[in-house]
Chains A and B, each alone.
Chain A
């Protein structure tokens, strides 16, 4: 199944649009949850050797990552990633309670998992509706560790077959405290093929 993923400009544009629809639904759900404003940057879509993405996106800094696997017509993962300070601020914004310390408490962990769960569900529902596909998010898992270590796990699990990772990355900024984070969508290569085929049918280009 190992083959090069080569997409043309139109396909890349359509995919970016899909990523953008998913990311805006995800961040809107965060805005509703917190009763404030969340803005997103233009999503980036990259398909490149997995080692290049890992070494560029991750360092030794401590981050919180919420990992949600996708099953159904799209296999892959949605990950919410925040540096640890932003993660604590976000929890405080939602619960109204200041952080207990530098380590996450059980309550803070479950709040973050729920945030990741809600964002991933909105993201995947928006994709599923738009594409007419069935996508089911699995229960969320949270880890707090070095960014590079989390990303190497996440990306290698998705890209181990072809060596190429497919990354939709959207940075969001959460008002009023300017808390920023990233939401990643990483479909596996076969799923990306299915998405592209659906998109081509949608715009009347056939399979």
Chain B
């Protein structure tokens, strides 16, 4: 089995193959995996909040969608990836307590921000498992580009 690299909350890691990039227990957070299938370079960002908006200087670029995604691209380019080849798979952004009457929850804002930033970077989302009321552990394989989304009670989904 390829070695596991844990990507903690508000962190971004990039790796060449073989590796499994893992983020545990995404609730409102969103896991964004980027992949260059030709170079077999992948990255996983464990994004916590939507926009860094003026909270300059940004304490940690890996925390926000608008700064974490560019950071992930930079890290991948250092490993030989080509930005024009990148595709994205995303998971997370839940509202864990389904009965709370709240539509503007952080999970939804995070997913919207991630989509917007990926569009701005011209990276296509090829697979997505977001929203709902379920916690997700994601595991991204840098050889195959497969993202496994594991849940406590709804089984495993392969993206």
Binding site for B on A (CB under 8 A): 2, 49-51, 54-55, 58-60, 62, 65, 67, 69, 103, 141-154, 156-157, 160, 163
B9 contacts which of A147, A152, A153, A163 (Cβ < 8 Å)? A152
Q: Verify A153–B152 contact, CB threshold 8 A.
A: no
- With A51-B63, A67-B97 as contacts: A146 and B9 at CB distance below 8 Å: no
Cα(A103)–Cα(B100), bound, Å:
21
Interface centre among B9, B26, B60, B134 (most CB of A within 10 A): B9
Q: Does B29 contact A (CB under 8 A)?
A: yes
Q: Verify A141–B9 contact, CB threshold 8 A.
A: no
Cα(A59)–Cα(B97), bound, Å:
18
Interface of A: prevailing SS = mixed
Cα(A149)–Cα(B137), bound, Å:
9
Of chain B, the residue at the smallest CB distance from A58 is: B25
Q: Does B118 contact A (CB under 8 A)?
A: no
Contact size range, B: 20 to 34
- With A59-B25, A60-B25, A69-B100 as contacts: A149 and B48 at CB distance below 8 Å: no
Looking at the assembled complex, report how far the CB atom of B73 sits from the nearest CB atom of chain A, in whole angstroms: 22
Q: Which B residues, 121 to 149, have Cβ-Cβ distances below 8 Å to chain A? A: 133-137
- With A50-B48, A143-B133 as contacts: A149 and B27 at CB distance below 8 Å: yes
| List of A residues within 8 angstroms of B28 by Cβ | 152-153, 156-157
Interface centre among B24, B29, B95, B135 (most CB of A within 10 A): B135
| Chain B 58-79 per-residue mask, 1 if CB under 8 angstroms from chain A, else 0 | 0110010000000000000000
- With A156-B48, A160-B106 as contacts: A51 and B97 at CB distance below 8 Å: no
Cα(A123)–Cα(B27), bound, Å:
26
| List of A residues within 8 angstroms of B136 by Cβ | 149
Cα(A160)–Cα(B104), bound, Å:
12
A157 contacts which of B24, B48, B106, B152 (Cβ < 8 Å)? B106
| List of B residues within 8 angstroms of A67 by Cβ | 97, 100
Q: Verify B134–A145 contact, CB threshold 8 A.
A: yes
Q: Verify A141–B99 contact, CB threshold 8 A.
A: yes
| List of A residues within 8 angstroms of B100 by Cβ | 67, 69, 141
| Chain B 79-96 per-residue mask, 1 if CB under 8 angstroms from chain A, else 0 | 000000000000000111
